[in-house]
Structure 1
Amino acid sequence: MSASSLVRYPGPGCVVEFMHGNKAQQGWVLDEQGGKLRLLTINKREMKLASSRVLPWAGPSYSGERSRQEIGTLLEEHRAKRDAMSAEIDALELWDFAQGEVDKESIQWFAELLWEDPTIDQLAALGSAMLACKTHFKFQPPEFEIYPAEKVEKRQEEERKRQEREALVTQGVGFFRNLWEKHSKGRTLGKAPDEGVAEQLKTIILNRMSDPDSHEIEQVWKQLAKGLPEDPHMALHLARAWDLVPAHHNFWLDRADYDCSNNWADEFTSEVNDIKEKCLSVQQKPEERTYISIDSATTKDIDDAFNIEPRGDGGYRLRISLACPAVAWPFGSPFDKHVLRRATSVYLPEGDCHMMPTALGTDFFSLHANEARPSLILDMECSSTGELERCTPTTVWVNLAANLTYIDSEAVINGGGESTPAGAFAEQIKLAAELSDKLQEQRIANGAVIIERNDPKVKLSGEGEQTKVEILPADDTPKAMKLVSEMMILANSGVALWAKEHGVTLLHRTQDVAVPKEYVGIWSAPHDIARVVKALSSAILETAPKPHRGIGVDAYSPITSPLRRYPDLVNVAQVIHYIATGEARWSAEEITNMLPLLNARLDSVGQIQRFRPRYWKLLYFKQQGDKVWREAIVTEENDAFVTVSLPNEQIFVRGRRKSFGDKVNPGQYFMVRIGKVHPLNNEIQILDAMES
């Protein structure tokens, strides 16, 4: 039967094909009325079909009456013959021949490229082959459009991705379920997916864990996680079950895109060496003055030190020495941009995460004793009552006499410590402590709200699932800590006033809000702290030198931690550039343009510091069990809930009002039992309470 036997208007007895389920299906016309066909399909079902849906290779047409069984046999014969032929046809060869020559053509035109006198079965077989080749042809009845090479390449890539997604979902759904059952029920994992699929699944899980709001993987994640419980940490559970991350993995690091190790700095080894060489090329003889630092015993990134002398009128000459990486810092370089994205150092129970490479932040620029270091000196004069009279910045090199600890310095302030390293510097330490008392009094007179609370130490031991948490009392060093904090506040406020006077734009921490007089002062009781903190808004980072009401200063420009915080590094660079040239390094507009990214990164990295220590505290409660009674102080209460502070652990917990009895007031002491602790979900509850 030749192509000329094509049936243009199929009627009863005609074999036709139509699209169903994205594939050509055979049918036998039983009846035709007004453009509507009644068919018996190859599956032996009757259906109605519009004539317009018939593919343009209708035929052959059989005469005479046929039983349904005979019709089925004929349809099966045609299908088998056509399928066999279609499997032998290379539609891509046709595309190679036709593309660039014609835009679209009929099925007969393509068939005549293959056969001299094509049969109807050959036409149908060719039609099926071309319909299946969607990357190269588009069926626009009654013709096939030939895609150009550029479009074919694009569609092939789309098809490849579609097939990958299909394989991903096909294998991934079951594997996700297996991972969940391993996590939730302890079952064995079983067979892993194919290597290519496995790598994609790993990427999806880790990306979902680091960015749960990503629209890029949202659709495929929904398909893969279909049937699993709604859990905000599902990706972390699956990653843990697959051993992609260790036990107690810090997902906040992933969300902030923050590498807590020093590995990130490996690619910048050359830049780090260049910074060192540039710095050493301008090295000067260190200033002959006795500078000392006071920090925790474990501190390696030493940002600040001081030298203090008494004046004859009872006033003070105070010189604050600040680390000065800005002297050789390559602002605007890829290295600098990476450090900017890190934004700040993070200090966690499991270890410190440094903003700078350790080769710079804890070594080369850190103010280690008996090592020459570049420094920004804030030369300040204070009156006998602690009022700042002058702040003059200058750049020098220093060689610290000693790196002291809070514990030893506290002993000296209290009249002891002669045998400690701090004993040799008792005169300076005591004078600095005397000044710190007066500085704090000045701030309170200026409306400061001072919160005194000392977070306990969170100590970890063991590894992985065997990690144990201890909460230990903090070192009792209030006077030494006040000495350092008051000096840093004086330095930050002093340089802000200097910058305002000289028209130099700096980054400022501001809190320009009204503070009620009754909130001014020093607060240490948990219920007082809770009440006062609620009344204060968060400080913001901006370029305007506005007041910081909570600290009690007219302006506050963070500059004392250039090894640990990027805003401080920027401010140091701005100041030393002005000292050297008489002009600021950046204009007000340029500094302002830094703020969106800097604020975003500070907020993102800041979440690590806020939430990770709390995770360990909650794990501590979980490990301790729910039978332990703990001291608690009521901070807030309403008709439904009571919030208490656990002073030994420095954490707030909420419980139902009915557990506390009828009369509950802020400041009231209770003993409470803690339970239903879920560290990952940040969940903790008071199970029982009794007044103490």
Structure 2
Amino acid sequence: MSKSLTHIRPGAVVEFMHGDQPQLAWVLEEQSGKLRIWTINKREMKLPAARVLPWYGPGHDPGCSRQEIQDRLNAHQERRGEIQAGLNVMELWDLAQGELDKAKLEWFADLLWEDAGPDQLAALGRAMLSAKTHFKFRPPYFEIYPEETVELRLKTQAEEKEREAVVRAGSDLFKALWEARMHGCDAKTPRMDDDVTERLKQLLLDQIAKQADDKSEKIWTAVRKGLPDIPHLALLLAQKWGVLPPHHNYLLDEAGYEWGNDWSKRHQKALSEQFGCFESLRTEPEDTPFVSIDGSTTRDIDDAFHVSRTEDGYRLQLALARPMLCWDFGSELDKDVFERASSLYLPEGSTHMMPEELGTGLFSLFEGQDRPAMIADFDLDPDGAIRSATPRLGWVRIQKNDTYENAERVLSENGDEHLALAHELASLLIKGRIANGACIIRKPEPIVTVEGEGHDAAVCVTMKEACPEAELIVSEFMILANCGLALWGQENNVPLLHRTQDIALPAEAAGIFTDPTEILPRVRLLLPAQTELQPKRHAALGVPAYTSITSPLRRYLDFVNMAQVCSMLEKGEPRLDTDRLESLLTHLSPRMSAVSQVQRFRPRYWKLHYLSRERKKLREAIVVDENGPLPNLAMPELQINVRVPRKLLGDKLYPGQRFQINFGRIDPLTNEIKVAEALED
């Protein structure tokens, strides 16, 4: 094959690239580097000689008829196909790679045959062109890829083939699932390989969790063509397919939060070490008769109190759980607890930040059990103002775990001097906060519970039994602790993470508000609190500084702050300096935000599901904002506000006006709720 392409004569058999494949043709005429050819597909066309592949021949009688040309082209095509089928270009690559970077086709042919003919050369050229993972054709040479490049290209080729299979099967499957969902029937899903099935399942799960990488996103874009562009499409498809159950909590997936306690099983060694360390450090508990007040179902008890009267005021001792007694910061267990960021208390159940063996077991302040604690000792003046705050480390034995309901009953009967004194102090504390501008919102608290799973899930809504006097004790003591320890940290150069809301509020914002018409205007004055290292005023609480430290079993923010205080008391210096604490906050803040979204929106999902079961039932609603085309109405029964078109309410509206409303469309998944009818009550 030494002839120049410019000397191609009529009657020669040539090949050229067409549609990424070599195509066979017969030269009818050649003139000044331009050919008129007859292709094997019975098509006459013009072709620049430069497009002819560097293997051609044999030459035939240029006077052959079209039928004779076609017969000979067919014969060459068949012969070349037979030869190509018998070639193993991978073995040829093995022989060539490492020897040289590129070579002409004849060099490779010499490795296979002594004197290769035109059909053999063409067959080999075709085979090497098809081996794109091993050779690259740069006329007239074939470049030989090195082994590393071949491995990478083979991997890419396999991935592309797999991607095509997934896209093809996914498109058919998802269309079938969507059609079945729209018609309320079972889907006729196509048959698929197990690998493809698993890839499609993972594709949906990645979309639901918003964790898809670029490759997954490209596949998702391809398979969802023809389907509606709606929120939560992947979740709806996964539920119709049976990959996920109805009412699946996709918010947990988005937050990357593992429900339940199974996650802790991978830390059994660390948990065993915690128990061993606990026993080795156990000391005799203080004899202070601490009491806790919590909900009747609470198992993660992280605070207890004891109040006594002094000659000129009060002494309040607060025992706070100390789960970092033997904690290994930076360990795998610590990293998992950090990622969880907070316990979650949802209508379908609770899941805890810490392993249950620790958070609702070893370090929970159960009555009659010896527990490590950080005791915050407050000396308060007759008005409840802080004269001094002195934290110390020790062990405690809680005298009693009381409930809100029982404490409320005892207070109403004046049956316990200690509780009465605690309430007396709490009343002074809230009075002082209001004098400092505190804006206190009190709403009815609906308790939403879910029994059963999937299609059998039943939602129940009841109003929490009001225990205002008992709740006042706990809330005021916790605010005092968080404020007092923030001030102590400031005085002792202990960096802490503070909750700040350094804003100016008008005088009318101060007080206790229970009426929905009074609550909304006050809430609009309040900006969200920030987490910062610098202690600043918290306007809504009416305190000069506020850290978050009283719930170290439930919130990692409190856990970090507790560790700072305990380290200072034990070693004379905080665990983290300001720079390291600030660095930690940059990673902790997004985790807290992600987990808080679950706590915020999941109860609302179940409330909307509850309403959707009886959309036509009339429910009480109160106008809290009459302005604009969509006045705002509050539903105290569920603590939900809804926007209602003014045309349904009439023109004469005023705050406090009561209506009976029912609903049209309610979609818990998209947080959509539309009022269909409003009757003035």
Q: Check whether TM > 0.5.
A: yes
Q: How far off its partner does 1:11 sit?
A: 4.3
Distance of 1:263 and 1:90 partners within structure 2: 53
Moved more, 20-29 or 349-358: 20-29
Distance of 1:135 and 1:560 partners within structure 2: 63
Distance of 2:584 and 2:463 partners within structure 1: 40
Match of 2:511 among 504, 507, 521: 521
Quick one: which amino acid aligns to residue 544 of structure 1? Q
Match of 1:684 among 673, 676, 681: 673
Quick one: which amino acid aligns to residue 588 of structure 2? L
Distance of 2:669 and 2:501 partners within structure 1: 33
| Matching of residues 134-153 of structure 1 within 5 Å | 134-153=132-151
Distance of 2:230 and 2:32 partners within structure 1: 57
- Aligned-partner SS, 2:378: strand
Q: Which residue of 1 aligns with 2:422?
A: 432
2:206–2:212 contact (8 Å) kept in structure 1: no
Q: Which residue of 1 aligns with 2:589?
A: 599
Q: Which residue of 1 aligns with 2:285?
A: 286
Q: How far off its partner does 1:68 sit?
A: 3.5
Quick one: which amino acid aligns to residue 302 of structure 2? D
Q: How far off its partner does 1:51 sit?
A: 2.5
Q: Which residue of 2 aligns with 1:482?
A: 472
For residues 96-122 of structure 1, the C-alpha deviation after alignment (integer angstroms, 9 at most, x for no partner) is: 111111110111111111111111111
**What TM-score do the two structures reach when normalised by structure 2?**
0.97
Match of 2:453 among 459, 463, 478: 463
| Matching of residues 9-158 of structure 1 within 5 Å | 9-158=7-156
Q: How far off its partner does 1:510 sit?
A: 0.7
- Aligned-partner SS, 2:221: helix
2:5–2:52 contact (8 Å) kept in structure 1: no
Q: 1:214 to 1:136 in 2, by over 3 A?
A: closer
1:31–1:39 contact (8 Å) kept in structure 2: yes
Moved more, 334-343 or 62-71: 62-71
1:573–1:585 contact (8 Å) kept in structure 2: yes
1:181–1:187 contact (8 Å) kept in structure 2: no
Q: Does 1:162 align with 2:160?
A: yes
Q: 1:233 to 1:461 in 2, by over 3 A?
A: same
1:6–1:57 contact (8 Å) kept in structure 2: no
| Matching of residues 183-582 of structure 1 within 5 Å | 183-185=181-183, 186-211=185-210, 214-313=213-312, 315-415=313-413, 426-582=416-572
Match of 1:671 among 634, 637, 660: 660
Quick one: which amino acid aligns to residue 441 of structure 2? I
Moved more, 593-602 or 25-34: 25-34
Unaligned residue ranges in structure 1 (runs of 5+): 417-422
| Matching of residues 631-670 of structure 1 within 5 Å | 631-670=620-659
For residues 482-526 of structure 1, the C-alpha deviation after alignment (integer angstroms, 9 at most, x for no partner) is: 211111000000000001011110110111111222212222222
Distance of 1:650 and 1:170 partners within structure 2: 47
2:497–2:548 contact (8 Å) kept in structure 1: yes
Quick one: which amino acid aligns to residue 79 of structure 2? K
- Aligned-partner SS, 2:325: helix
Distance of 1:12 and 1:486 partners within structure 2: 103
Aligned residues: 680
Distance of 2:242 and 2:285 partners within structure 1: 52
Distance of 2:101 and 2:419 partners within structure 1: 89
1:172–1:193 contact (8 Å) kept in structure 2: no
Q: 1:578 to 1:212 in 2, by over 3 A?
A: closer
Moved more, 211-220 or 280-289: 211-220
Quick one: which amino acid aligns to residue 440 of structure 2? I
- Aligned-partner SS, 2:631: strand
Q: How far off its partner does 1:34 sit?
A: 4.4
- Aligned-partner SS, 1:305: strand
For residues 298-357 of structure 1, the C-alpha deviation after alignment (integer angstroms, 9 at most, x for no partner) is: 0000010001111233x2111011000112111111111111111011100111010000
Distance of 2:439 and 2:226 partners within structure 1: 52
Q: How far off its partner does 1:187 sit?
A: 2.8
Quick one: which amino acid aligns to residue 662 of structure 2? R
Distance of 1:667 and 1:167 partners within structure 2: 61
For residues 445-492 of structure 1, the C-alpha deviation after alignment (integer angstroms, 9 at most, x for no partner) is: 111111111320112223320211121111111221121111100000
Q: How far off its partner does 1:147 sit?
A: 0.8
2:172–2:190 contact (8 Å) kept in structure 1: no
Distance of 2:117 and 2:159 partners within structure 1: 37
For residues 623-660 of structure 1, the C-alpha deviation after alignment (integer angstroms, 9 at most, x for no partner) is: 11x22111101222443212211111111111212111
For residues 407-436 of structure 1, the C-alpha deviation after alignment (integer angstroms, 9 at most, x for no partner) is: 1111122226xxxxxx5xx21211111111
- Aligned-partner SS, 1:558: coil
Distance of 2:270 and 2:44 partners within structure 1: 77
Structure 1 ranges of 4+ moved more than 6 A: none
2:6–2:33 contact (8 Å) kept in structure 1: no
Quick one: which amino acid aligns to residue 682 of structure 1? N
Distance of 1:330 and 1:127 partners within structure 2: 65
- Aligned-partner SS, 1:373: strand
- Identical aligned pairs, as a percentage? 46
Q: How far off its partner does 1:580 sit?
A: 1.5
Distance of 1:19 and 1:288 partners within structure 2: 94
For residues 514-553 of structure 1, the C-alpha deviation after alignment (integer angstroms, 9 at most, x for no partner) is: 1222212222222322222122111111111111111111
Q: How far off its partner does 1:438 sit?
A: 1.1
Q: 1:654 to 1:339 in 2, by over 3 A?
A: same
Q: 1:79 to 1:408 in 2, by over 3 A?
A: same
Moved more, 171-180 or 584-593: 171-180
Unaligned residue ranges in structure 2 (runs of 5+): none
Distance of 1:211 and 1:429 partners within structure 2: 49
Q: How far off its partner does 1:8 sit?
A: 5.2
Distance of 2:31 and 2:523 partners within structure 1: 83
Quick one: which amino acid aligns to residue 478 of structure 2? M
Quick one: which amino acid aligns to residue 603 of structure 2? P
